[in-house]
Structure 1
C-alpha cells in the first residue's frame, strides 16, 4: 500500500507587520530615553612662579584633606562616611551657606582619583568658585659628581 505524503504548507511570516512593530519599539525607546547633561566645574588654578606659600588671609577658609584610604577631613574634623551627600552636608554646615569662601583640597599622593573628583563635585554642586588644589614643590635632584 502506497501512502501519499501530505504536502506541507509553506509557512510565511508576515514581515510587514514585524517591521512596523520594530519601528514602533524604536520610536518608543527614543522618546522615553533620558539624556543627562554633563556639568563642568570651572576651576581657576592658581599660578605660581615660585614655591612660596600663599599669604595668610583673614577670611575663613575651608580645607578638605583626602587620605590614601579615601577618608575625608573637613577643617581637621573627620567625616563619618566618605560619600558625596555626607561631604556636601558637612561643607554646607561648615560654610554656613557662604559659597564665596576659598576651598582648598589637599589629597594624598596615593588617594584614588575618584575621591578627589567627589570632593570637586561636592564643591561644584554647592557653588564654590574659589577652589585650590595643594601640591608640594618637587625637591631638586642632587648634583652628579
Structure 2
C-alpha cells in the first residue's frame, strides 16, 4: 500500500476583509467630520466714539510719535530710555499718582513703545491710565 504524503497548504493572509474595514472607517470619518474655516483669525478693530474728553489741567500726557520718541506734557525727551521716561513722568506728577495719565500714541508707533509707557506708569503706581483716540470722520 502506498501512502501519499500529505500536502502542506501554503499559509497566506487574506487582506481583503481588513482593507474593506479600513475603507469603511475612512468613509465613516469623512462623512461624520465637519469642516469649519477657523484656521484664520479675522480681526475688525473698533473705532472709539466715546465721550469727549473733559479738560483737566492736572492730567499728565505722554506722547509717542511714529519713530518711538516720547514727549511728557509737550516736552520732548532726549533719549527713548525707560529711565528717562520714568524720571519725566515722576517729575510731571509731583508725586501725585491719582492724576490721570493719558497716552497719546501715533497710529504708526510701535506696540513696544506704547507698552513701555504703560509699564513705566504701572511701576510708578498710576492706576488711572487712558489712551487717547480720535473720533473717525463722518460720525458723531
For the superposition of Structure 1 and Structure 2, which TM-score range results when normalised by the shorter chain? Answer: 0.5 to 0.7
- Which 5+ residue runs of structure 2 have no aligned equivalent? 1-47
Larger Rg: 2
RMSD over aligned CA atoms reads 1.8
Q: How many residue pairs are counted as aligned between the two chains? A: 92
- Equivalent position of 2:54 in the other structure: 55
Superposed, which structure 2 residues align to 1:37-76 within 5 Å? 50-57=49-56, 59-76=57-74
TM-score (norm. length: structure 1): 0.59
- Equivalent position of 2:133 in the other structure: 135
- Which 5+ residue runs of structure 1 have no aligned equivalent? 1-47
| 1:100-138 alpha-carbon deviations (Å, 9 max, x no partner) | 110000000000000000000010000001110011122
Superposed, which structure 2 residues align to 1:18-33 within 5 Å? none
- Equivalent position of 1:37 in the other structure: none
TM-score (norm. length: structure 2): 0.61
SS state at 1:69 partner: coil
From 99, 102, 116, give the equivalent of 2:100.
102
- Equivalent position of 1:90 in the other structure: 88
SS state at 2:86 partner: helix
